[in-house]
Amino acid sequence: MRDIIIMFIVFSLLPVTVWRPWVGILLWSWLGYMNPHRLTWSFAFDFPFAQLTAIATLAGFFFYRDRKGLPINTTTVVWLLFIAWMAFTTIFALNMGEAPGELMRTAKIQLFAFLTIFLMQTPERVKALVWVIVLSLGFFGFKGGLYTIISGSQYLVWGPAGSFIADNNALALALIMTLPLAWFLFAQTRSRILKLGLAFLMALSCLSILGSHSRGAALAGATMTMFLWAKSRNKLGIGLAILVLLPVFVASMPQEWFQRMETIKTYEQDESAMGRIHAWEFAIDMANSRPIGGGYDVFVEENYRKYAPEITAIIDKEKGRFQGPHSIYFRVLGEHGYFGLTLFLLLGFSAYFTGSYVIRRARNLPGLTWASDLAAMLQTSLVGFAVGGAFLGLSYFDFYYHLISLLVVLRAIVDTETAKLRTGAVGESPLPIERPGLHATRAVRPDASGSGTIPPA
């Protein structure tokens, strides 16, 4: 039955996607984040829904007259340079059996991130995409939270097989990145039923994160929570929720959870932690030996032995295993060298400062308070990824690049509305203003000089 339902939904939306390709972005996001076909047991499990959606979206994109241009700013320039550099390092990859396939996988993610920029430059589409992301990933927060309660957190919470978030640590990080977006929707909606549902979803997602027993998620969650409080306009509400709920959630965890968290202090005695450190040392040795890095999938035993003999000797002595990167930063360093890591870091910083630009410009613009609030929550999600990603090899996680594309879209919307407001100041069409709480609009005309209306850059 599930197979038939998934087939019906996707094939019903494919013709709509050709006509309105922005629908394809929503469909792609649902398929990519929730992986509904992986929740089936028959013919839909391995059906190429994503490929069909990509074909329909691209077909519609080329004939769609309402698509916007690509904003040229620091974020998009650095982003394009990073993509080009990843393609360049693949030419010289050590593992040519796997590297081209990984490049294609990454390219598909980047393609849809850029299509999001082209096709989603309206407030309604942005909000729709946020809803799809929150509900898709929130499904696993809801499910994992209930499982944590039922099992007493004795067993780990896992994501859908074959996806970026299949691992318990990756799922926990994805939920940490989703919580700020859920809070944005909670603050925006005026429906009591939706507010109650989102509050319940966020509470269960927090339990799911704790139920993952992920030490990296614990650190990322603590950092994200502080930023969420700092970035939110309702500091009292979030502060009270943290003070009341967090102790209850932590107290509900079993003794095994506390024992695992304690190993953060004694990582030298933990085989898994030391294995990660050896992998990070290998990444440094690789980048020192090959300035352009080793290309995709370079963290294999053969390369350990050739480019990091000292680390290999330690691993052999400890009878350990040759681990993957377990860090977004060291993975990029090992695969794309110091220049690749520099571009990766610049992209993250630039995206964060794009959020600051949107907050500064939109905060006082009529009708764009929502954009300021969303930018702040996107920044919070980026911080969660930056901290949690230090212990996971999710350098090419589609969710992260989707967050960046949303920030670029918000900046484009703010710049467009600012230009409209400047035009309105000399007597042309006025900009609508948002009425608090209702999101309705009414016409308002700024004063003749426009002073006090357009915030400084």
User: Residue 438: pLDDT above 50?
Assistant: no
Residues 6+ apart with CB under 8 A from 313: none
Rounded mean pLDDT, 431-450: 41
Name the pLDDT band for 157 (thresholds 50, 70, 90).
confident
78 and 343 Cβ atoms separated by less than 8 Å: yes
User: Any alpha helices (H) in 308-327, and if so which ranges?
Assistant: 309-318
Residue 105 lies in a domain: yes
Same domain, 234 and 357: no
Same domain, 97 and 163: no
pLDDT score of 328: 96
pLDDT score of 84: 98
What would the pLDDT profile of 106-140 be if each residue is shown by its tens digit?
999 999 999 999 999 999 999 999 999 999 999 99
Structural domain boundaries enclosing 86: 71-119+266-425
Q: What is the DSSP letter of 38?
A: G
Specify the pTM.
0.85
Q: Which is nearest to 392 in space by CA: 272, 285, 260?
A: 272
Same domain, 138 and 224: yes
Q: How far apart are CA 163 and CA 171, in angstroms?
A: 10
Same domain, 386 and 292: yes
Residues 6+ apart with CB under 8 A from 413: 121, 122, 123, 126, 368, 371
Residue 218 lies in a domain: yes
Rounded mean pLDDT, 82-105: 95
362 and 416 Cβ atoms separated by less than 8 Å: no
pLDDT score of 44: 83
Same domain, 284 and 413: yes
pLDDT score of 433: 41
| Total tally of structural domains belonging to the chain | 3
Q: How far apart are CA 130 and CA 186, in angstroms?
A: 12
Same domain, 34 and 181: no
Residue 448 lies in a domain: no
Same domain, 133 and 234: yes
Residue 61 lies in a domain: yes
Residue 453 lies in a domain: no
What would the pLDDT profile of 218-255 be if each residue is shown by its tens digit?
888 888 888 888 887 777 777 777 777 767 666 666 56
Q: What is the DSSP letter of 167?
A: S
Name the pLDDT band for 258 (thresholds 50, 70, 90).
low
442 φ, ψ (degrees, to nearest 5): -145, 155
Same domain, 288 and 415: yes
Same domain, 144 and 216: yes
What would the pLDDT profile of 302-315 be if each residue is shown by its tens digit?
999 999 888 888 88
Same domain, 420 and 275: yes
Same domain, 275 and 409: yes
Instruction: Tell which of 221, 253, 285 closes a domain.
Output: 253
Residue 91 lies in a domain: yes
Name the pLDDT band for 263 (thresholds 50, 70, 90).
low
Q: Which residue has the tokens 């969420």?
A: 228
User: Residue 24: pLDDT above 80?
Assistant: yes
Same domain, 283 and 375: yes
Rounded mean pLDDT, 275-302: 92
Q: Which is nearest to 141 in space by CA: 208, 195, 186, 200?
A: 208
Q: How far apart are CA 58 and CA 281, in angstroms?
A: 42
* Average of per-residue pLDDT values in the chain: 85
Q: Which is nearest to 67 in space by CA: 24, 107, 22, 26?
A: 22
Residue 436 lies in a domain: no
